[in-house]
Amino acid sequence: MKYTKSLLLLLLLASCASQRSVRHHNYQANQQPDQVVVVQQPVTTGEQEGVVQEEPVVSARPLVSQVRPFPEGTWQADKQQALDLLCQSSLFETTQLGLYVYDLTDGLPLYAVNAAQRMRPASCQKVVTAITALDCLGGDYQLRTEFRTKGKVVNGVLQGDLIVVGGMDPMVSPDELFEAAQNIRQKQGIESITGGIVYDLSMREDKPLGWGWCWDDDYGPLSALLVNGKDTFEKNWLQALSQAGIKVNSKGKGQTAGGREQAKTVYSIRHSIDELLNPMMKNSNNIYAECLFYQTAAFGGKKGAGHKEAGQRTEQLLSKIGLDPSPYRIADGSGLSLYNYVSAEMLVALLGYAWRNESIKEHLLTSLPISGFDGTLKSRMTGTEADGNVRAKTGTVTGISSLAGYITAANGHTLAFAIINQGVSSSAIGRSFQDKVCIELCK
């Protein structure tokens, strides 16, 4: 009889633990995808509780399916219970939540709710864009606007065309254009042009707006030639030439490559990827994000590359880190598009990859807003345990509020996290929940 009671008690405890585990990782048992080794993570065995052993984890969902309850009394178990309480809010009776927290120090998942569900990321899409670009292009990459001449210069006259090759650089300023025009006159001896000005816009697809942007979005038009992020290059360039004393006998000869391969590069305006990342991430500049998005599209050398080519770069990266890219959709670089679909799991996977790669990490970390200090997090979590301990990208579009990045937790560990609140009536509701999660993890 005693043995029977003991057996029943053990079965009851096992059942409770199983239910709690299912609540955390939200894994659907009726799905049986192909099992592949996608990551090697330290896992805790049941025989030696608390002892970390290196074992390959076999899972079609490399993050969510590994979430498991921690031993009672540990910091991790306390945080799981606290997040459980937060996620029981009445807010989620009418809205959707995607939440994932991963302990980068331990190499173990900490908490997940609907982490694999596809949701719109809002400006957290910029996290995807930044990490994809840094992985694809490298931290030393530079955006370039080139000025080329085709023809001979005789007695100060360029008997041919002046070609401007667009590099979709939103940081080009009127002052830089004036410097370019002055240099062309002084170094090349050009005082007038008998041909024309050719604007080469072949770097990107010939579409003024991003794929899936709303008609009333106050952004764009996008172009391979921009001045201060606006499509006013031709006006500013002709003005710069005039100020530098260069006479132009004809206006632009269209917007084609115009035999640029035979032309001579005489000047270039360059900006580093770090110069672009800082305003893109800290201030959530959408045009900057689109320009970086199209840098990756053009990486393969295809003329007129578009959102499909840029999306393929992210898909290749997802495959490399062990995620199936097919459930996701990469429509633009900024998060404005209605067609973007990611998951909290995907965002955390990319953040984890970036953290493990110093060549990406050093550029990404410095660009992320810091809670209570700068960027779009300057006024959030101030005066709390999370003040200064969160580096993350914010996201806001109608009905969506999101936050994704890194946390320095109370136990000194670094956590990667992603929170997507979908279907909220105001962005403030989502921000309030996200702040509570971050503060709790910093307690």
In the beta sheet, which residues pair with residue 212?
none
Question: Which secondary structure element, helix H or strand E, spans residue 296, and what is its range?
Answer: helix 286-298
CATH classification code of 142-275: 3.50.80.20
37 exposure class (CB count in 10 Å sphere: 0-12, 13-18, 19+): exposed
Helix (H, G, I), strand (E, B) or coil at 438: helix
Residue 208 in contact with residue 171, Cβ under 8 Å?
A: no
97-139+280-442, superfamily in CATH? Answer: DD-peptidase/beta-lactamase superfamily (3.40.710.10)
Question: Hey, what amino acid is at 7?
Answer: L
* Cα(432)–Cα(377) distance, integer angstroms: 12
Helix/strand/coil (H/E/C) assignment for every residue in 19-63: HHHHHHHCCCCCCCCCCCEEEEEEEECCCCCCCEEEEEEECCCCC
Biggest CA pair distance of the chain: 111
β-strand 37-44 against 52-58: which pairing, if any? Answer: antiparallel
Question: Which secondary structure element, helix H or strand E, spans residue 417, and what is its range?
Answer: strand 414-422
The per-residue pLDDT for 50 is 40
The per-residue pLDDT for 214 is 84
**What is this structure's pTM?**
0.85
Block mean pLDDT (10 aa), the chain, length 443: 47 43 37 30 36 36 69 96 97 97 95 96 98 98 97 95 97 98 97 94 92 82 96 97 92 54 90 98 98 96 93 96 94 97 97 97 98 98 98 97 98 97 97 98 96
Dihedral, CA of residue 316, residue 319, residue 323 and residue 324, to nearest 10: 80
Find tokens 């041909």 and name the residue. 195
* Cα(275)–Cα(300) distance, integer angstroms: 23
Give, in degrees to the nearest 5, the angle at Cα 325 between 321 and 328.
130
The per-residue pLDDT for 31 is 33
- Cα 85 to Cα 163, 421, 424, 437, distances in angstroms: 62, 17, 19, 10
Which has the closest alpha carbon to 186: 197, 195, 196, 178? 178
Cα 133 from chain centre: 9
* Cα(403)–Cα(377) distance, integer angstroms: 10
Helix (H, G, I), strand (E, B) or coil at 164: strand
* Cα(89)–Cα(111) distance, integer angstroms: 16
Domain boundaries, the chain: 97-139+280-442, 142-275
Phi, psi of 384 (to 5 degrees): -115, 180
The per-residue pLDDT for 249 is 80
Give, in degrees to the nearest 5, the angle at Cα 306 between 352 and 259.
125
The radius of gyration of the chain from alpha carbons, rounded to an integer in Å, stands at: 26
* Cα(23)–Cα(67) distance, integer angstroms: 10
Give, in degrees to the nearest 5, the angle at Cα 279 between 277 and 285.
105
Which has the closest alpha carbon to 306: 219, 169, 210, 389? 210
